[in-house]
Structure 1
Amino acid sequence: MVNAFSFACSACGKCCNSPPAMTLAELFRHRDLFIGYIAIGRMPRKRTGERLRVGPYESVLDAADVAAFDTLADTLLYRVGDTFSITAQGYDYPSVARCPALEDDGRCAIHLHGKPLTCEVVPLDPLVPDTLQHLVLAARNQSAAYLGADCIHEGERDGAALLVRQGRVVDANAKDALERRRKALAKEREVWGQAVFEALRKELFDSPAALARIPAGGFRTISIVPALLTIVAASARCRQLCVDYIDSQIALIDRCIAHALLRRRLDDRPITHELRGFGDAYRRAKAVLAVPLAAATGSAAGSTPCAVEAYLSGAICL
């Protein structure tokens, strides 16, 4: 079977049915639009001989496939038995079923104003080796989010870009987006991810009972405050950036809850409860940050204060 897929985006918005994964810097840039949180995902380690099947497409993992997964895990993910992702994410009520950045006409309001990098990667997956991206596309093609979009096609199609062919990502723009997203995930791990992983190790990653509550392929959501408390130590400027972010997030959470109360949907209640928890965590963090910090020493990963400031603000540190 020819494992080739083409892609032609019509900007219909069908795949923009929830907030995207984002870097912390992207969340800071769009602090008045996206509520941020940390998603902890569980990803079972791949084994030689394991079969991955999507419809008529099947791959039996060989040593090279497993090594490719391990390389991505070593640079982008976190290992404790299974492999875990720790990523920043936008949050909203699932009942809304749309990204907060979508306009009424279904177009992206921030397409030319700092659209999250993960949106450029769509419909590929940066956590899957390039040799298996055809399975990602086959699965997307069958998912509800893409039904009727007519944007992913098996084989070559006039007017569509050929993305993958015979185990290779062949489109230059797609390859570039994958590389930049992977670099961004590595930077997230350096700036705050590894420190948060270590902070959560005892209560979560070293606790079989706690880990049992994260199913294979599933996620656990927590406040983004642990990431903020990691980076505030870098400098007084980072502290102020975090305080400004917290203020914007509290106001955004209050607005989102107010809109939900007007909708009067029972299925919104658990989300409202979680959002109130995020708001409480922000307020506690702000109280902590009201206490003067000791002299800056850089992030837990050793990044210089200037580098962390530049990362969060989108500036270039000379």
Structure 2
Amino acid sequence: MALPELFRHRDLFVGCLAISRTPRRRSGERLRVGRVDHVLSASDAAACDTLGETLLHGAGNRHGVFFNLVAQGYDYPSLARCPALQEDGLCAIHASGKPLQCAVVPLDPLLPDSLQHLALAGRSIGAAYIGAECIQAGERSGMATLVGDGEIHDAAAREVIAHRRWMLAQEHELWGRAVFASLRRELFDAQDVLGRIPADGFLSISIAPALLAVAGVSERCRQLSLTYIDSQLALIEKKIAQALLRRRLDERPHSRELRGFSEAYLRARAALVSASPPQTMPMAAAQRFEAYLAA
């Protein structure tokens, strides 16, 4: 989820930062997903690099990977459901700010258009899709083709994936670079960073560094960040209380992580309350930032 989406739904989703890693792709590299086998062309590799340099972090680092640093909603994995999912199986926020990442599914904004068939192949063998038969290769009578011949054919899908990439680029520029720089020595330049970030998953940390970066833009941004923190503290307390009633041993590590988020929020709140007025950007830039957060 983008930061404005978390701000809008601050009473529904616990926010965090998710850090994952993406290997740099090379021409001639063979990728196999399920039954789909693809050898990367020079243009495929160049398109992957372009997306990596625009949306990801750490280009040229010694680990040979890009790092993805994004805002994300957090909940107990044992619940196996989105907090916005209603009992009837429908999305409660579909008409009031459904996250773009949800709208992009089943495509992947971090893959170039020429490789979206690999994203679909991966989805088709995922546990959530087994038996659904809603993603299939080839043409089907009465069905429009989503991707083919290295292009996204569906106009609505092209529009939403472009919008999601735009939002990721905004996040990268407005707070991502600052947060990556602040964590670089401690995390991203560390010898053991690849061991701490699972190859097929992500590392969750507090979203407080992003809030501190945002709050420094203007007084309005600081107030938005404080409002968000107060809502998050109440939501985390509620989440942990519900977990205690469930009495599941496998949920204890996640309760500890949520308590860690609360502690980070409290430290960030104290810093924001006692800090000097933000060093305001030029008015036009600050207004653009504030408009983005409120979007």
Q: Return the TM-score normalized by structure 1.
A: 0.88
Q: Is the 8 A contact 1:162 1:170 kept in 2?
A: yes
- Residues 238-317 of structure 1 correspond to what in structure 2 (within 5 A)? 238-298=221-281, 304-314=285-295
Deviation at 1:303, TM superposition (A): 7.8
CA distance in 2, matches of 1:148, 1:285: 46
Residue deviations 1:86-140, cap 9 Å, x none? 0000000000000000111110000010000111100000001111111111110
- Secondary structure of the 1:146 match is coil
1:296–1:305 CA contact under 8 A, matched in 2: no
Structure-2 separation of matches of 1:295 and 1:104: 44
Q: Which residue does 1:189 correspond to in 2? A: 172
Structure 2 residue aligned with 1:114 = 97
Question: Is the partner of 2:216 in helix, strand or coil?
Answer: helix
* Structure-2 residue corresponding to 1:16: none
Contact kept? 1:41, 1:86, Cα under 8 Å:
yes
In the TM superposition, what whole-angstrom CA distance separates every residue of 1:167-209 from its partner, at most 9, and x where no partner exists? 1110000100110000000000011001001001111111112
TM-score by length of 2: 0.95
User: 2-side partners of 1:295 and 1:277: how far apart?
Assistant: 26
Q: Does 1:165 align with 2:144?
A: no
Tell me how large the CA RMSD over aligned residues is: 1.6
Number of matched pairs: 291
Equivalent runs, 1:17-166 vs 2, <5 Å: 22-79=1-58, 80=61, 81-158=64-141, 160-166=143-149
More deviation in 302-311 or 255-264? 302-311
Same amino acid, percent of matched pairs = 59
1:225–1:281 CA contact under 8 A, matched in 2: yes
Mean CA deviation greater in 22-31 or 211-220: 211-220
Consecutive unaligned residues of structure 2, counting only runs of 5 or more, are: none
CA displacement at 1:82 relative to structure 2: 1.2
Structure 1, unmatched stretches of 5+, are: 1-21
Matched residue of 1:103: which SS?
coil
With 156-165 and 187-196 compared, the bigger mean Cα shift is at 156-165
Q: CA deviation at 1:156?
A: 2.5
The answer to whether the 8 A contact 1:44-1:217 is kept is: no
